[in-house]
Homo-oligomer: A and B are copies of this chain.
């Protein structure tokens, strides 16, 4: 092997290394972020509690967290102090029958006409577990992002003006959730 060949080989190798570098960067870009995405489908107190504990826990660990509220999860984000404008009959019925905000949600089991839920609330206070209201505030401070499913809002007749004030709250469809989920290390359906 002479110097000339060697220099050809070197150039060939340089090209290979450049290619590898690009491929590596491409792979790195496609790798999911240090993020948690969850669908909050259920609107019961215990599940909302679990969802908020996991989401705030994730941000406390330095992860991003995204909560996508859909179906029974959506009424939980209503602000009890706000009034929606005119609604049709169905919208009024859903509005009246579903919990208005985190204060009205019930346990999925052992609700016992509200007694179980009241017991759980008093227990949480006694054991220094934050209430749903406080956790939602914490989530906002910690930068947990909240998405609300537009299809669910539309089906149940909820309006944006009756939802809570929450920094960066976004109304969107399933595609937006999937984009976040694809780029997340952890995904949960709650």
Residues of A within 8 A of B (CB): 1-3, 6-7, 9-10, 13-14, 16-17, 20-21, 23-24, 27-28, 30-32, 34, 36, 38-39, 41, 43, 46-47, 49-50, 53-54, 57-58, 60-61, 63, 70-72, 90, 93, 97-98, 108-110, 119-120, 123-124, 127, 129, 151, 154-155, 173-175, 177-179, 181-182, 184-190
Interface of A is mostly: helix
Cβ of A175 to closest chain B Cβ, rounded Å: 6
**Number of chain copies forming the complex:** 3
**Are A155 and B129 in contact (CB-based, < 8 A)?**
yes
A85 to B98, CA, bound (A): 40
| CA–CA, A99 and B148, complex, Å | 30
Determine how close the nearest CB of chain B comes to the CB of A1; give it in whole angstroms. 5
A186 B190 Cβ-Cβ under 8 A: no
A173 partner residues in chain B, CB cutoff 8 A = 57
CB distance from A177 to the nearest CB of B (A): 8
Q: What's the minimum C-beta distance from A57 to chain B, rounded to whole angstroms?
A: 4
Contact B30 A20 (CB under 8 A): no
Closest to A11 in B: B9
CB closest chain-B residue, reference A51? B189
Pick from B47, B63, B151: contact of A41, CB below 8 A.
B47
Interface contact A61-B175, CB-CB below 8 Å: yes
Given the known A-B contacts A13-B17, A21-B20, A189-B189, are A27 and B36 also in contact in the complex, defined by CB atoms under 8 Å?
no
Let me know if B186 and A188 touch, CB within 8 A. Answer: no
Residues of chain B with a CB closer than 8 A to A174's CB: 53-54, 57
Alpha-carbon gap, A139 to B108, bound state (A): 28
Assembly CA distance A63 to B10 (angstroms) = 41
Given contacts A6-B10, A20-B24, A189-B188, is CB(A175)–CB(B46) below 8 Å? Answer: no
